Amino acid sequence: MAEEEELKHEHHEQDLPLVLLLGLDPSSLQKFFPKLFSKFRFVSPYELPDKSMDQFLINHAQSIKVLICEGGGEAVSINSEVLNCLPSLECIVSVSAGVDHIDLTESKRRGIVVTNAGTVFSEDVADYAIVLLLDVWRKISASDRYLRSGLWPIQGEYSLGHKVGGKRVGIIGLGSIGSEVAKRLQAFGCSIAYNSRKKKESVSFPYFSNATDLATNSDVLILCCALTDETYHIINKDVLSALGKEGVVINIGRGALIDEKELVRCLVQGEIGGAGLDVFENEPNVPKELFELDNVVMTPHSAVLTPESFSALHELTIANLEAFFSNKPLLSPVNYE
């Protein structure tokens, strides 16, 4: 009887749709997204660590129709080379908001649809942008360090920070995350202006058609846009110069939105006022010059690391996969524009 049960179970497992995992450790995925493993079967290059990824794909992934990948600094790049090894691929499910690690043009050309995390992270990421800004302006981490080092009784009051109300906030990218950031900062008495690819007719905030003009008119720039060819190094020398000595940069998007070398130089020379950074060009490496600075707050790409975001992502990933396998519309397809 037990044998029969086991056979049934194996049979059932065999019936589960097959999904490729790229750049994601299956055991770590199972830890955070256990339900996925009761609904789908997974193959992953992690199973055969001696083989190169391309080799694995050629030998074991020729009939794969859908893959899950992650985003961020250490993501596997889903480029032509990889796509060439996956002739049956129809859908890429990225468990990230950013899709800069995926060649969208190539995907579109091959008729492959891409989904991402949609808006499930937006609140947590917006909260993170706010806290990085508050930390830089009110010197929270710096004064916490000061206090923990025992200096309060010896050196007295810590240096003064900056008032939040009345400051001019410039948001680059007024999508889901940018809108949540704007809504929160208005309650602190900040004024909002933005730059994005196109002016949004339904939005009443002042629009600037380029980042330099926005920087000229802002006390802080908050980067909430996707990384694309156009937005690569959108924060460059000119923009930083326009932002000025008191200006602050907050980045919760992608490290490569900023010319990091130039940013570091400006911070070290005191040419801008401070920065709050959750992302870097070469994660997990962070320019060591920043460690000397008290007006910089650095976090390890952790804006989405909450149980709520993970849980929402879990549900969304399952929903997208189920929709794919039953030929229904995907829940969070990425627009190719």
Q: Output 87 or 166, the one with its CB closest to other proteins.
A: 166
Catalytic option among 254, 260, 281, 314: 254
Q: Which of residues 224-283 bind other proteins (CB under 8 A)?
A: 283
- Catalytic, 283? Answer yes
For other proteins, which residue of 164, 214, 313, 334 counts as binding (CB under 8 A)? 164
For other proteins, which residue of 11, 31, 148, 198 counts as binding (CB under 8 A)? 148
Cβ-Cβ contacts under 8 Å for 330 (sequence gap 6 or more):
91, 113, 115, 320, 323, 324
Q: Is 244 left (phi over 0), alpha (psi -120 to 50) or beta?
A: left
Interatomic CA distance for residues 143 and 157, integer angstroms: 10
Burial class from Cβ neighbours inside 10 Å (0-12, 13-18, 19+) for residue 310 reads middle
Interatomic CA distance for residues 260 and 287, integer angstroms: 9
Give the residue carrying structure tokens 């804006």. Answer: 303
Q: Smallest distance, Å, CB 135 to other proteins? A: 6
From the list 45-53, 162-170, 228-236, 328-336, the region that binds other proteins by CB under 8 A is: 162-170
Q: Smallest distance, Å, CB 258 to other proteins? A: 16
Q: How far is CA 180 from CA 101, 133, 224, 252, 287, in A?
A: 25, 14, 10, 13, 30
- Give the sign of the dihedral formed by CA 299, CA 303, CA 305, CA 308: positive
* One-character DSSP codes across 191-235: EEEEE-SS--TT--S-B-SSHHHHHHT-SEEEE-S---TTTTT-B
286 counts as binding other proteins under rule CB under 8 A: yes
Q: Output 211 or 286, the one with its CB closest to other proteins.
A: 286
Q: Output 103 or 219, the one with its CB closest to other proteins.
A: 219
| Size of the residue set binding other proteins (CB under 8 A) | 54
27 counts as binding other proteins under rule CB under 8 A: no
From the list 35-43, 151-159, 196-204, 215-223, the region that binds other proteins by CB under 8 A is: 151-159
Task: Give the HSE-up count for residue 282: Cα atoms under 13 Å, Cβ half-sphere.
Answer: 7
For other proteins, which residue of 49, 111, 284, 329 counts as binding (CB under 8 A)? 284
From the list 13-21, 90-98, 181-189, 219-227, the region that binds other proteins by CB under 8 A is: 181-189
- Catalytic, 314? Answer no
221 CB neighbour count, 10 Å cutoff: 27
315 counts as binding other proteins under rule CB under 8 A: no
For other proteins, which residue of 65, 184, 197, 200 counts as binding (CB under 8 A)? 184
- Catalytic, 262? Answer no
Q: Smallest distance, Å, CB 56 to other proteins? A: 24
Tokens of 267: 């911070």
Q: Which of 215, 208, 222, 271 is nearest to 243 (CA)?
A: 215
Q: Smallest distance, Å, CB 303 to other proteins? A: 8
Q: Which of residues 64-123 bind other proteins (CB under 8 A)?
A: 123
Q: What is the DSSP letter of 282?
A: B
300 counts as binding other proteins under rule CB under 8 A: yes
Residue ranges in contact with other proteins by CB under 8 A: 123-124, 126-128, 130-132, 134-135, 138-141, 143-148, 152-153, 156-158, 160-165, 183-184, 186-189, 283-286, 291, 297-302, 305-310
What residues are annotated to the active site?
254, 283, 301
